[in-house]
Structure 1
Amino acid sequence: MELLRFDNLVAVPWRNGGGLTRELAVHLDGEIHPEFLWRVSMATVGGPGPFSRFEGIDRTIAVLEGEGIVLASRDSKIALRRGSDPHSFAGETPIDGSVISGETTDLNVMTRRGYFTHIMKRIVIGEPLAIEVQCDEMMIVFNGEVDIEALESRLSARPLDTLTGLKRGTRLRLLPSAWEEVFLIELSRAPA
Structure 2
Amino acid sequence: MSSCSDEISDSPELAVEPKLIFSSGFANIRDTVVDPSPTATAGRLRLVDMGTFLNDRRLDIYEYHSSLSCSAYVVVSYVWKGNLLVADPSRPSYWVEELGAFSVKGAEDGDPISLDVLHHICSAALSCQYSGSHLWLDRLCIVQTSKKDKAWQIREMFDIYKRCKICCVLPGGMQRLVSLEEETTWIERAWTLQEVIVPYRSIVLF
Kindly indicate whether structure 1 or structure 2 has the higher relative contact order, using CA contacts under 8 Å at least 6 residues apart.
Answer: 2
Above 0.5 in TM-score? no
Between Structure 1 and Structure 2, which shows a larger proportion of strand residues? 1
TM-score bracket for the superposition, by shorter chain length: under 0.3
TM-score by length of 1: 0.26
